[in-house]
Chain A
Amino acid sequence: MKRKILLLAAFLMLGFLLSLSNRAVSEAADPKFGGTLRIAMEAEPPTVDGHWTTATIVSVISHHYLEPLFTFNNKYNIIPMLAESYKIGEGGKVYTIKLRQGVPFHNGKEMTSADVVASITRWGKIATVGKRLFSQVESFKALDKYTVEFRMKGPSGIVLPSLANVNQIPGIYPKEIVDEAGDGQVKQFIGTGPFKFVERIPDRHIKFVRFDKYAARKEAQSGFGGKKIPYLDELFFIPVPDVTTRIAGTQSGDFQVGNRLAPDAYKRLKEDPKLDPVIVKAGDYIVGVFNKKTGLFTNKKLRQAALAALDMEAIMKGAMGQEEFYGLSNSVIAMRESIWWTDVGKEQYNQKNKEKAKQLLKEAGYKGEPIRWMCSMAYEWMYKSSLVAKQQLEDVGFKVDLQVLDWATVVQRRNDPTFYDIFVTGMIFFGDPTQVLTVSCDWPGWTCVPTIDALMNKLAQETTFEKRYEIWKEVQKIYWDEVPVLQFGDYYLLRVKQKNVKGIFNMIEPFFWNAWIEK
């Protein structure tokens, strides 16, 4: 009898425990509305106008209130966002885009084709990618309240990738906001996004609140698109330029997310039971960009000599410190998941062939002229990679004059070919080959190679992916022969969040529309 009672008690206890654990599982799995997220960002953004700048931090912040017509899914394919559907006609000359109906702006007005035409036209005048797109556009107009049409000068393959641009987001503002802005920045930050802009107090915070009337898509979330749900009541993007303070503030619980932290902190953060550190492979890589307009490196042999000399593994280890934070790849579009990734030209990458470098130097007729190498300490990896590369180049006979400047000076001087021979910078994710800067003739460094230009024009006009991919591989092959830049390697980002924050999606940058806080 006693045993039976004990058995029964044990069963009851087991049942109780199981029900508890089930509840715990369901609580962990079910997102909840409410709460405030404080995100420690690396800097104060120069603006909150998503059209205005190519600065990544502005893209991260503006994606929360502003939405484009198209975007990327988690495989980096283009999917509609504010567009409902699209049709390509006349052999790639006409793009007819149907808009979603019933999508409200934060001011209550419904988004229509008038807003799309006004916004995209403005973006086409301001944005680097927009200008390139509009150089091919014959006309862009509204056909009816929910339809817009691009009529191109010839067949074009860049309409959708441009409209899905991540970095200088072609977001849709209400027409009156665009009109009010004139040639300047928009004065009111109103969009259709899941969060509503509340205020910007520089160096203190940028505040968003949930947009209750947000019109979400039906499809499951994928990448930047699909169903977005603003679970959080409030979002604060807080500029915390000092990386030590970003780390300490997340550890102390003042911030729930810390962005762009120093790789050295990884071990310490991993040991903290309250935190989840995340290494993000965002498609970023380090490059030393040659000045090909004037000076020493107009000589292709000299560029090839520098490339032959370098040991990329050593450079990346020096730049990032730990192996978890870098990768070696020669793809010009570095995101491994991207449909554009390719290793064509890999034999030229990471040669570490000193003899070949010396031979090429001799053939180039190099006489020990100092190479003006510009870099900044704004990002540690820029400086550290420069130090290692300098040493390796000097080992084969180059003479390098390393000029360490602040970032504002580097971005000014790189526009003037009389100032430098090489500058070091980072490349970010490119959604389409036509957006790649280092094969462009109008970006600092000036890669003006007729064969590349011809292929890039062909690529911009081609509409099928398979053909475009073949052209791109051809471009990358020439890129590794011409050596417009020294491509060192991919660098990864460190981000950290409190363990009770769920649903953050970590693609190129962190986004918080489906994030929620476990109570």
Chain B
Amino acid sequence: MGYLIRRIIALIPVMFVVATVVFFLVHLIPGDPASVLLGPNATPSEVMKVRTQMGLDKPIHVQFVIWLSRIIHGDLGNSMFLGRSVTQAVFERLEPTLVLVVLSSIVAILIGIPAGVFAAVRPNRWLDKTLMFFAILGVSIPTFWLGLNFIEFFSVLLRWLPAAGYAPLSSGIWGSLRYMILPVSSLGFNQSALIARICRSSMLEVMQQDYIRTARAKGLMEPWVVLKHALRNVMIPTVTVIGTTFAVLIGGAVVTEIVFNIPGIGLLIINSVLRRDYPVIQGCVLFISAAYVVINLFVDISYVYIDPRVKY
């Protein structure tokens, strides 16, 4: 419990540093939200007027203090383009991103761990080589390329699944899942490859350990040796990879979200950067940083359950 409290308190300086860096980074890059908002025909004087309305004419340190004092009160501000608060904008995007990331992580785990285990049990045999061929393929193929090919084949040619978009879970599970099958498959395949490779290399190492030899010597059946003694020891690096991947994907499934037009956090960030919607960029980055830290915390806590030797 003490560990948990310490970790949560440690979150505060991390978030402060992130907030400061993000604020100055987005304000220092060139580009102007007022010019984007007013469109190509606006005159410089019209742009200046809207910049003043947006508070962008104030010195940057003044803008920073205003923004920081708002954040301390839990207010991330309002989007300059979306007609809603940053918090609302982020939470609207959370569902598509979470559905995408959770489902693709499940797919990745279901493919990656068994593939890693089977490959490691009989190293350098045909099964290992075949599985690792696919794993290298999965790591090498860009997600967008795979996604576009899935769209071409399953949506354009066969017309089985929608090419783009998202249906919220509230509109029905199957309706929502239909939109997710292709993006989840392309993202999941990519992630599974990484998990499979990590799982295999850890497994190979574990299989050389004395306790595995002991387990075999006392007459345990091989599947039992693998599942009970080896797999559990492989889980620490594997869970770390899964956790990190999950955290990265929360804000980083950008390419998949663009290709399949899924209105998630990644698409929100990209669009906000392109139109210089400062409050939204800042809000998203803060949110993702918090998510990253929290997920890592969960990963650390999970070690205790996976490996009884770990204590905090």
Contacts and interface: CB of A to CB of B under 8 A. Distances in A.
A201 interface: yes
Interface in A222-259: 238-242, 244-245, 248-249, 251-254
B31 A412 contact: yes
B44 A55 contact: no
A16 interface: no
B220 interface: no
A252 B163 contact: yes
A202 interface: yes
The interface size bin for chain B is 35 or more
Contacts of A440: 43
Given A185-B83, A253-B159, A46 B164 contact: no
Given A240-B164, A415-B35, A249 B41 contact: no
A131 B268 CA distance: 34
Given A46-B36, A245-B259, A437-B41, A409 B159 contact: no
B166 interface: yes
B121 to A, nearest CB: 41
A239 B263 CA distance: 10
A360 B30 CA distance: 35
B274 interface: yes
Nearest to A201: B92
Contacts of B222: none
B31 A406 contact: yes
Contacts of A291: none
A203 interface: yes
B152 A254 contact: no
B252 interface: no
A350 interface: no
A295 to B, nearest CB: 16
B271 A44 contact: yes
Contacts of A443: 41, 43
B165 interface: yes
Interface in A462-477: none
Nearest to A242: B258
Contacts, number: 149
Interface in B247-291: 258-261, 263, 267-268, 271, 274-276
A54 B38 contact: yes
Nearest to A131: B46
Contacts of A238: 165, 261
Given A54-B38, A242-B261, A444-B44, A412 B163 contact: no
B163 A254 contact: yes
Interface in A390-437: 405-409, 411-413, 415, 425-426, 428, 437
B54 to A, nearest CB: 11
Nearest to B53: A183
B209 interface: no
B268 A203 contact: yes
Contacts of A128: 41-43, 46
Contact of A54 (B32, B40, B151): B40
A251 B38 CA distance: 33
Given A47-B81, A248-B152, A412 B165 contact: no
B261 A46 contact: no
Contact of A411 (B35, B79, B162): B35
A407 B275 CA distance: 8
A425 B40 CA distance: 8
A46 B156 contact: no
The interface size bin for chain A is 35 or more
B158 to A, nearest CB: 9
A408 B163 contact: no
A167 interface: yes
Interface string A474-492: 0000000000000000000
A342 interface: no
A203 B41 contact: no
B169 to A, nearest CB: 14
Nearest to B280: A202
A200 interface: yes
A447 interface: no
B37 interface: yes
B43 A442 contact: yes
B43 A46 contact: no
A204 interface: yes
Nearest to A128: B41
B44 A408 contact: no
Contact of B165 (A202, A244, A254): A254
B47 interface: yes
Given A46-B275, A203-B267, A240-B261, A412 B83 contact: no
Interface string B1-44: 00000000000000000000000000001111101111111111
A168 interface: yes
B258 A412 contact: no
Nearest to A59: B39
A249 B271 contact: no
B40 A413 contact: no
B37 A53 contact: yes
Interface in B72-99: 79, 81-84, 89, 92-93
A58 interface: yes
Given A44-B271, A183-B53, A408-B274, A249 B163 contact: yes
Contacts of B162: 249, 252, 254
Given A248-B156, A407-B274, A203 B30 contact: no
Given A254-B155, A412-B31, A407 B36 contact: yes
8 contacts: A44-B271, A47-B83, A202-B81, A203-B93, A203-B271, A238-B261, A252-B159, A409-B31
By Cβ-Cβ distance, the 6 closest A-B pairs, closest first, are A54-B39, A408-B31, A54-B41, A412-B32, A55-B39, A411-B35
